[in-house]
């Protein structure tokens, strides 16, 4: 059975104040040059002369657009464009706000650093409206990071050296345009960047979440998987779109802060681009995020239940695994290893009669705690041989068959991954309306 190549096309409407609509059109026009740079880069025909010429045209469009920028934002805008004209290493933000400062749109353009492309950077860009609706949610979550650290199930003192301040700054955007490396078949829902320095994994200190695209992707793909394959997924039907977005954002923020929790002695001996190390880092972050969810029931979930949060996470894991390439994509490999662990523990149980997976809540929570403790200890101990052996606990992860799945992938999981009726890709039809 072949894997789904269906593409869901979702309408994305982003309301903008009238005084920012001209700037939005300028951003869209400029991103056309980013798309061209990306295409030529892929063809490996991007000479320095062509690259510089297209970059000058890109910044020229932005410079000419200054005449339509609200007066209060014009000075900062022109200064940022001047910086971009000199060339940049990383994604660089360019913002425009209304005269009253209540609404902001932003362009991010430059090069995206990708751990899945042998460390190469590709031209990419996006533009969108800053969404402040979830700022309090993120702040409240971050205020609890020290508490999360103290509650880690593996509580040796040396596991708590990383300070929460190490975590990336986060901003939510309602995107209305994508280009280049951000506009491919597997569209991202966030991007990390450093802003003004040459990029590497350790310097990506800023994070922009495409919150409207994240929620749309969940509805078009993950939620459909849940309804078809997860027992009790009907509980998701009562969630309003903004509640789903809250749960997704809590899961994402938990994952990203989870990277910085616990001592990492593996990182002293393994290269940050080592595939085994990246998969394990994703897995540790996933489990820390899951573990922390149980400590959010006193208000942060805002009417949502812990059961609904777990349904969202497991559905997202299924979606990740449908990409295949368990060893190629660290987040996919992480989801697969988590499933195999939960399966062994009886925390996620497949019922052949109904064809659905059951999340056994108490067993699930116990398994999350056990797995989190084990992974934190794995990183703290720094035993490379044991770490590499763990990656292959359920068969050789890198030994993929013709369908791209590992040889030991369970049959019930293959059925989910190979379901051709549920889209595996997503595209967006962007529409900006007047607010």
Q: What is the 3-state secondary structure (H, E, C) of the chain?
A: CCCCCCEEEEEEEEEECHHHHHHHHHHHHHHHHHHHHHHHHHCCCCCHHHHHHHHHHHHHHHHHHHHHCCHHHHHHHHHHHHHHHCCCCCCEEEEEECCCCCCEEEEEEEEEECCCCCCCEEEEEEEEEECCCCHHHHHHHHHCHHHHHHCCCCCCHHHHCCCHHHCCEEEEEEEEEEEECCCCCCCCCEEEECCCCCCCHHHCCEEEEEHHHHHHHHHHHHHHHHHHHECCHHHHHHCCHHHHHHHHHHHHHHHHHHCCCCCCCHHHHCCCCCHHHHHHHHHHHHHHHHHHHHHHCCCCCCCCCHHHHHHHHHHHHHHHHCCCCCCCCHHHHHHHHHHHHHHHHCCEEEECCCCEEEECHHHHHHHHHHHHHHHHHHHHHCCHHHHHHHHCECECCCCECCCCCECCCCHHHHHHHCCCCCCCEEEEEEEEEEC
Max mean pLDDT among 255-259, 305-309, 342-346 falls in: 342-346
What confidence tens digit (pLDDT) does each residue in 26-72 have? Answer: 999 999 999 999 999 999 888 999 999 999 999 999 999 999 999 88
Nearest-angstrom CA–CA distance, 387 and 381: 10
Nearest-angstrom CA–CA distance, 202 and 337: 25
Mean pLDDT for 299-321 is 91
Can you give the pLDDT at residue 196?
A: 55
Mean pLDDT for 156-177 is 73
First to last CA, the chain: 47
Can you give the pLDDT at residue 429?
A: 95
Residue 202 has pLDDT above 60, yes or no: no
Can you give the pLDDT at residue 349?
A: 98
Residue 174 has pLDDT above 70, yes or no: yes
Between these two residues, 184 and 118, which has the higher pLDDT value? 184
- pTM, two decimals, is 0.92
Between these two residues, 338 and 432, which has the higher pLDDT value? 338
pLDDT band for 1, please (50, 70, 90 cuts).
Answer: very low
Mean pLDDT for 99-116 is 84
Residue 350 has pLDDT above 70, yes or no: yes
Can you give the pLDDT at residue 133?
A: 95
Between these two residues, 130 and 201, which has the higher pLDDT value? 130
pLDDT band for 169, please (50, 70, 90 cuts).
Answer: confident
To the nearest whole number, what is the mean pLDDT of the chain? 90
Mean pLDDT for 9-20 is 95
Mean pLDDT for 292-317 is 89
pLDDT band for 300, please (50, 70, 90 cuts).
Answer: confident
pLDDT band for 324, please (50, 70, 90 cuts).
Answer: confident
Can you give the pLDDT at residue 157?
A: 56
pLDDT band for 159, please (50, 70, 90 cuts).
Answer: very low
Mean pLDDT for 338-344 is 98
């Amino acid at each position: 059975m072949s894997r789904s190549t269906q593409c869901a096309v979702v309408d994305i409407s982003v309301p903008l104040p009238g005084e920012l609509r001209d700037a939005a059109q300028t951003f869209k026009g400029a991103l056309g040059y980013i798309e061209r740079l990306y295409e030529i880069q892929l063809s490996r025909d991007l000479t320095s002369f062509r690259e510089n010429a297209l970059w000058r045209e890109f910044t020229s469009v932005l410079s000419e657009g200054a005449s339509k920028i609200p007066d209060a934002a014009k000075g900062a805008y022109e200064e940022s464009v001047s910086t971009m004209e000199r060339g940049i290493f990383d994604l660089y933000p360019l913002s425009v706000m209304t005269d009253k400062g209540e609404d902001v749109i932003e362009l991010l353009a430059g090069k995206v650093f990708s751990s899945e492309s042998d460390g190469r950077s590709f031209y990419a860009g996006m533009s969108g409206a800053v969404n402040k609706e979830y700022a309090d949610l993120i702040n409240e979550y971050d205020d609890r990071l020290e508490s999360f650290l103290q509650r880690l199930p593996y509580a040796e003192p040396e596991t708590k050296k990383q300070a929460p301040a190490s975590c990336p700054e986060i901003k939510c955007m309602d995107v209305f345009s994508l280009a280049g490396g951000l506009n491919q078949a597997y569209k991202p829902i966030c991007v990390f960047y450093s802003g003004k320095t040459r990029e590497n994994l350790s310097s990506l200190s800023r994070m922009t979440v495409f919150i409207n695209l994240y929620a749309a992707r969940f509805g078009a793909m993950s939620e459909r998987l849940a309804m078809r394959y997860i027992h009790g997924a009907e509980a998701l039907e009562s969630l309003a779109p903004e509640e789903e977005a809250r749960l997704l954002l809590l899961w994402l923020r938990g994952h990203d802060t989870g990277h910085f929790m616990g001592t990492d002695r593996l990182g002293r001996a393994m290269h940050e681009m080592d595939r085994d190390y990246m998969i394990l880092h994703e897995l540790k972050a996933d489990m820390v995020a899951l573990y922390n969810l149980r400590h959010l029931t006193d208000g942060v979930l805002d009417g949502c239940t812990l059961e609904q949060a777990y349904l969202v996470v497991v559905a997202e894991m299924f979606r990740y695994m449908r990409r295949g390439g368990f060893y190629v994509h660290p987040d996919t490999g992480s989801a697969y290893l988590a499933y195999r662990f939960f399966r062994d523990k009886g925390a996620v149980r497949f019922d052949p009669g109904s064809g659905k997976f059951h999340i056994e809540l108490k067993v699930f929570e116990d398994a999350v705690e056990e797995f989190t403790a084990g992974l934190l200890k794995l990183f703290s101990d720094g035993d490379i041989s044991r770490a590499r052996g763990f990656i292959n606990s359920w068969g050789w992860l890198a030994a993929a068959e013709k369908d791209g799945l590992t040889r030991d992938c369970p049959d019930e999981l293959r059925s989910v991954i190979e379901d051709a009726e549920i889209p595996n890709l997503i595209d967006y039809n962007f529409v900006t309306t007047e607010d």
